[in-house]
Structure 1
Amino acid sequence: MNNFKIDVSVDCILSQAQKRIDELQLVIEFLQKQLEKAPEGSLNGTSSHSQLQWQRIVGTKRFYLSSGNSKLIKALAQKKYNALLLEDFKRQRKALDKLINSYVPQNGEKTYMSMSERWRKQIVPLNIPDSEYADLWQSLRYKGKTIENTGFLTSKGECVRSKSEIIIADVLASLCIPYRYEFPHKMKNGDLSRCIDVYSDFTCLNIHTRKEFVWEHFGLMDDAEYARNAVAKIEMYQNNGYFLGDNLIFTMETHEKPLNSKIVRDLVKKYLI
């Protein structure tokens, strides 16, 4: 889909920076509380006759601390460490705040879209806009499994195999997630001896990361034979490089515990938006 031999990856710097800022802020608040509870004064160590002597400094006064004051020595040493650490984390936080305020992610899409349509027709963009990429991805023609009229129709008018698949398809459509129903993937079978076509229930695209996810729904998990086959299928996906949360999503249900549309929506928001 891209005529360039290079591609500019999705820019996650700002989100990663904000995550780091949030982490730093928690540590900063923790260190500040620790310093508030620390003993008064500071610790100074001097060498005398090859032995280290500790002094506690409070204002202009100095007090020598004997080995019997080990608890206080440790508390004051920890106080110094916490204070140095606090300053370091504050510097990191300040640098990241500056980055957040000044950095504008750009993978070329904004520049491309700023040009008129007549100009865009003459250009091969470094990265095509998400909407165009999604349209191209969605337009791929393929031959899925043969399906008779089940009576289960999605909001897009597609015929699927169950009410639960209607739920998944309609949530995907409502959140504008491109998907292919029962798209064939070449995979090695259970004993890895040959390749077979595996018609995954849904193959979905995260438009922003441009990453594909396979979504399998296991709808009869209270049936022992079906459950064994489901476990074998999940294992086959793993043997072919598909892992839960990375590029594989699956949902399950039983007769007593049907598919929850909220869970479907939460999964879509987690992995596909």
Structure 2
Amino acid sequence: MLIKRVKEEALEKAPPGKIHVSKTSHGVQYYLRNQSTEKSGNYIRKSEKSIIKKYLQKFYDEKILKLVTAESESLKKLLAKSENSITKIQKVYSECPEEVKKLILPVDVSDEDYAQNWLNKPYNGKPIQDYLPFFETKRKERVRSKSELNIANRLADNGIPYKYECPLQLSNGITIYPDFTVLNVKRRKVLYWEHRGMMDDKEYAKKSVQRIKILMKENIFIGENLIITEETSMNPLGTNEIDAVIKRFLL
């Protein structure tokens, strides 16, 4: 909690001792107590405004910190109770047989069930003909390039649900096939991952730019729900780059 951290830092820098405020018929008087056992303390002249201000701020910060700390603890308990209730609700669906799951509409599901339901939705990808070169992923899928193989395998290694060349119908009725349709399970958000593997080919690069423009018309934007990776013949896509993208957008 930001307020708690700010007040803790302020109190670390605050002067020692505590201020005592006494209300009299002549107005307010201030006393500095260096020991908690002191009954009165040392009188602070009103002309010493900077000292009075520091100690009054410390007095205020201590009160606020106490209240915020108590509120934070209450929120933690409430959150734990809420998470426990959500888990119980999700468990009702998780414990059902697979055949039963297909016939009911749950109010909430666990991340695991959500991901599995997403993966279970069938699709017809763009086929790779037998006479064309291909690479086989850990999931026994055919992909078109070594970099796509690496992307697919790193997604699988990190437990990221994905679909290779899953069809995406555009608003104009045309169907395209993004390289990877991926799911951020925690956020329950679908993203598209396009790998542009021949950016030193002018015609290929031109088509890649056109592709981005098409996706933007569908409200698919780089950095939001679109991931772009690129390479050239001299600068291949590294596994460390793939891992960085996965960490940034999908974990």
- TM-score calculated relative to the size of structure 2: 0.74
In 1, are the aligned partners of 2:193 and 2:227 still within 8 Å (CA)?
Answer: yes
Distance 1:118 1:97, change over 3 A: closer
Distance 1:203 1:64, change over 3 A: same
Note the alpha carbon deviations across 1:40-90, whole angstroms, 9 max, x for none: 3316386988xx7662432413524334x2322321232122212211221
1:172-211 superposed matches below 5 A: 172-187=155-170, 194-211=172-189
What are the ranges of 5 or more consecutive residues in structure 2 without an aligned counterpart? none
The Cα shift of 1:223 comes to 5.2
In 2, are the aligned partners of 1:53 and 1:64 still within 8 Å (CA)?
Answer: no
Aligned residue for 2:104?
124
Aligned residue for 1:66?
46
Distance 1:39 1:272, change over 3 A: same
CA distance in 2, matches of 1:25, 1:56: 27
Note the alpha carbon deviations across 1:209-247, whole angstroms, 9 max, x for none: 443211111223455665565455445434422244543
Distance 1:107 1:195, change over 3 A: farther
**Helix, strand or coil: the match of 2:174?**
strand
CA distance in 1, matches of 2:157, 2:165: 19
Distance 1:180 1:118, change over 3 A: closer
- Residue identity over aligned pairs, in percent, reads 32
CA distance in 1, matches of 2:182, 2:123: 15
The Cα shift of 1:138 comes to 2.8
Aligned residue for 1:57?
32
**Alignment pair present for 1:257 and 2:238:** no
The Cα shift of 1:122 comes to 10
Distance 1:70 1:128, change over 3 A: closer
The Cα shift of 1:180 comes to 1.7
CA distance in 1, matches of 2:20, 2:207: 67
Q: How many residues align?
A: 241
Distance 1:228 1:47, change over 3 A: farther
In 1, are the aligned partners of 2:168 and 2:176 still within 8 Å (CA)?
Answer: yes
**Alignment pair present for 1:38 and 2:15:** yes
In 1, are the aligned partners of 2:94 and 2:109 still within 8 Å (CA)?
Answer: no
2:144 corresponds, among 150, 157, 161, to 161
Equivalent residue letter for 1:71:
S
Structure number with greater CO (CA < 8 Å, separation at least 6) is 1
The Cα shift of 1:114 comes to 4.1
In 1, are the aligned partners of 2:94 and 2:113 still within 8 Å (CA)?
Answer: no
Equivalent residue letter for 1:156:
R
**Helix, strand or coil: the match of 2:167?**
strand
Equivalent residue letter for 1:88:
L
Aligned residue for 2:225?
247
Aligned residue for 2:123?
142
Equivalent residue letter for 1:253:
E
In 2, are the aligned partners of 1:32 and 1:86 still within 8 Å (CA)?
Answer: no
Equivalent residue letter for 1:42:
I
In 1, are the aligned partners of 2:7 and 2:61 still within 8 Å (CA)?
Answer: no
Distance 1:30 1:244, change over 3 A: farther
**Helix, strand or coil: the match of 1:108?**
helix
